[in-house]
Structure formats: C-alpha cells, structure tokens
Structure 1
Amino acid sequence: MKNRPRVLLADDHQMFADGLRTLLGEEFELVEYVADGVAMLEAAQRLRPDVIVADITMPRLNGIDALTQLRANLPDVRVVFLTMHHDAAYARRALAAGAFGFVLKHSAVQELVLALRAALEGRIFVAPSLGADLVARHQTNPGRRTDPCAALTPRQREVLKLLADGKSVKQVASSLSISTRTVEFHKYTMMETVGAKGMADLIRIAIRYGLVSE
C-alpha cells in the first residue's frame, strides 16, 4: 500500500483540529497536532512532514512568521494556511512568505484537500473568492499605489485609529472585544501593507493620507 502524505497540523482551536483529523484521515497521515507557532517550528524540524496545515493567528508566534523562520532551515517546506481571515491582504502576505495554499476555514471541507494535493505537486492554491479579489485589486492598480492605506480593512482602520489616539494594545483589545494577539497581528499586517518600518512610521503614513488626525 502506498504511503499516505504526512501532514503536520498547527491550530489553536482543538475542536476544529479534531474535525480536520476526520476530514484528512482517509488520504493523509496526520503525524502530529500542535497549538502554537513555536511548537510548529519544533515539530516541523523534528518530523519533516510532507506538508503543514497551519492557522495564521496562533499563540506565541503567528503562522506567517513561523513559516518565514522555518524556510531559513527548510527552504522547500510546503505550508497551506487554513484561516478565518477573508482578506486578500492576508493571502498576499502568506504567499509572499512562501505558502503554497490559502484556504478559508468555512470552505475547508470543499477546498483543503484540493489545496494539499496542489501543494504536494508544487502548485499554489488560493481560495477562489480571494483569488478573484487579488486579481481585481491588481487590475485596479497594477502599478504604483498612491494611497497605501486604501488596502487596510475596516477592522485594521479601527485598530489604527485607537493606537494613534495613544491607546495601549490591551486597551484596544478591550475596546474592540478582541484578543491582544489579534491587535498585535493587525499592527504587523498594517505595517507590512503600507510599508511602514515601525508603529511611529505607520501613524505618520496614516496622518499623511488622512486616515487619522495629527
């Protein structure tokens, strides 16, 4: 019997991970389950799976940063992100970091196996709805982007405005009823999106383009 492809699963939602075991069990061998980005790095180095299924937002180290670090030692690693973030900006960052796939959690039953098969063949799979968004944004502005803040999501804008008002990460999280790690991830994503070198630079750019007041 042909050996099944070996999959490492990294997701901090235990119940969702249990569901993936059933979904993938017939075609893939789940070699280990971990619940944070640091554990994902360790398990990937130790087990050398054929492909990794990872969430983006995880404790200790987010999935995209984990992939960036992992590629330094395992340049051929194949990671498919499975996330709740329905935003082309996340997909762009994931693919730029070297991901082979980007699948939305609500479409996992229909798309995850397809994404894993594509990754194992060296092909990239992006959720069809996000793929259309990526193409549309490129066609709208294929060259330079005059307003880098235009790509920020409504939630990112909320976070940025509160941070610009001098709120701490904890205060922003409390105000928006989200976790502090989600606030930190929004900060990182916004800096990547607009090309800011740090939080102060991000706020200066936001002021320049009228997103927040000085």
Structure 2
Amino acid sequence: MSRPAVPKANTEALLREGTPMTRPRVLLAEDHPIVAQGVRSLLAADFDLLEVAEDGHAMVEAAHRLLPDVVVADISMPSLNGIEALAAMRRDGLWIPVVFLSMHREVAYVRRALEAGAAGYVLKQAATTELLQGVRSALEGGTFVSPAIAGQVFEVMKRGPATSSDPVGGLTLRQLEILRMLAEGLSAKEIAAKTDISPRTVEFHKYQMMEALHAKRSVDLVRFAIRHGIAER
C-alpha cells in the first residue's frame, strides 16, 4: 500500500536556520484527558508532545499551525471525527502522517482509516506495546496496523476500495458509529450524548440506514452490524 511521501519541510527549515535537531514532534488529538495523559507518558521518552487537540477541527487547525512530524489521533471525537479531520488535512495539502489510536477493532473502521491515508492504526488496548512502533513506522514512511487485526484488515483491503454497491461501503462514518452503538444497546438519547448530535439526528441516520439496507426492524440493523464486523456479537 503506497502513500504520498512525507515532506521534509520541518527538518529542512531547521537546518537552514542552523537550529539543533530536536526529537520528533507529535500532535495528539484525543478528547479524553485520562487517555491523553497515558499517551503523553508513552511518548515522553522519545518524542516531544506539542499539544493535545480535543476534537477534529482543533486537530486540523493545530496541524496547520504547528506542522508536527506526526499526528496521533483518536477516531471517535466530537464535532469532527479523526478520519474526517485526516481527509480535511489531505485536501489542504498537509501530508503529515497520521496514526490512529482507537478502541474500534472492526474492519470497517480500519479500512476507512487506511483508505483516507492513515499511516497507522493501533488498538488502544495494545498501545503500551504498539504505539511507539506505529509512530516510528509512520515517520519512516511505512504503514502499521496492530497485529491482532492486520491479517483480517489486509485480506479485506485486497478486494479493493469500498464502493457504494458494498452495503458497508455505502454507509458514512457517522452512520457506522451510530450503527455500532445501536448494536451495543444504546438508546438514541445516549448515542446523541456520545456523538454531540441531537437525538432527532440519530433517528434520522437510523432511518436512512434502514432504507439503504432494506431493514424492517431495529434488530435487522443489529444483525447486519454483527454480520459485517461493525459490532461484536
């Protein structure tokens, strides 16, 4: 899987100015303070953490302003999720590598992240052993996926990009997120609180998914989510 080369603008600027080379600079996008503190501790020995962005919009703004060497980001963030933020960076011409650190092990999420141009996908439960490896791989121009899901993910990626004819590929990232939480038994009100949208918007997405997937009942959506690896049984 090929990705555009990461520009060396930061390094070249430092050399021109005669500034001593520093450790790789990391921007973290994570809306949970406890998780952010844990990541800070993991990176402290080898990297300089520049800032913590608490949503996707802040991630894009900070990436423009700070020009970090790598971004470590969650996927599920309020306002603008991590994959949408990555897409915005790419549209703006920012080819800074982004490593996702996520609780979602479902293939649908990993596939969307990699197709958007992610340099890595590390499961949060494996962060203590895999995050540093993922960040170093990204800085070297590689792509890292947590070994626990890598085989399944790359097997799916061999089939080519998701298309609208693929029932999962036809769902937006927001719909995937809502579908996963519906399958976990959360109500529209609970989902709204977690995603920073209104319960009415949650119900609208649910209706759209039922129409697209030809589902007659909510339980049909749950079965679809489990069958396609969007939620666990």
C-alpha spacing 1:182/1:84, structure 2 compared with 1 (3 Å) = farther
Q: Displacement of 1:80 after TM fit?
A: 0.3
User: Does the CA contact (< 8 Å) of 2:56 and 2:82 recur in 1?
Assistant: yes
- State the TM-score, normalizing by the size of structure 2: 0.67
Match of 1:25 in 2: 44
Q: Displacement of 1:183 after TM fit?
A: 8.2
Match of 2:188 in 1: 172
Match of 1:191 in 2: none
1:92 equivalent in alignment to 2:111: yes
* Structure 1 or 2: more helix by fraction: 1
Q: Displacement of 1:156 after TM fit?
A: 2.4
User: Does the CA contact (< 8 Å) of 1:89 and 1:151 recur in 2?
Assistant: no
The 5 Å alignment of 1:77-156 reads 77-137=96-156, 148=167, 156=179
Question: 1:159 corresponds to which letter in structure 2?
Answer: L
Unaligned runs of at least 5 residues, structure 1 = 163-169, 189-197
C-alpha spacing 1:208/1:60, structure 2 compared with 1 (3 Å) = closer
- State the TM-score, normalizing by the size of structure 1: 0.73
Match of 1:181 in 2: 195
Pick aligned residue for 2:210 from 177, 196, 203: 203
Unaligned runs of at least 5 residues, structure 2 = 1-19, 222-233
Distance 2:156 2:124 in 1: 23
Q: Deviations over 1:26-68 (max 9, x none)?
A: 1111111121111111111000000000000111111010110
Q: Name the SS of the counterpart of 1:80 in structure 2.
A: strand
User: What percent of counterpart residues are identical?
Assistant: 40
Question: 2:193 corresponds to which letter in structure 1?
Answer: S
C-alpha spacing 1:19/1:147, structure 2 compared with 1 (3 Å) = closer
Q: Displacement of 1:158 after TM fit?
A: 7.0
1:14 equivalent in alignment to 2:33: yes
Q: Deviations over 1:160-195 (max 9, x none)?
A: 8x9xxxxxxx95243xx77341889xx99xxxxxxx
User: Does the CA contact (< 8 Å) of 1:172 and 1:183 recur in 2?
Assistant: no
Distance 1:136 1:36 in 2: 31
Give the alignment's Cα RMSD to 1 decimal: 3.7
Match of 1:49 in 2: 68
Q: Displacement of 1:93 after TM fit?
A: 0.3
Q: Displacement of 1:138 after TM fit?
A: 5.8
User: Does the CA contact (< 8 Å) of 1:11 and 1:34 recur in 2?
Assistant: yes
Number of paired residues? 189
Distance 1:72 1:144 in 2: 20
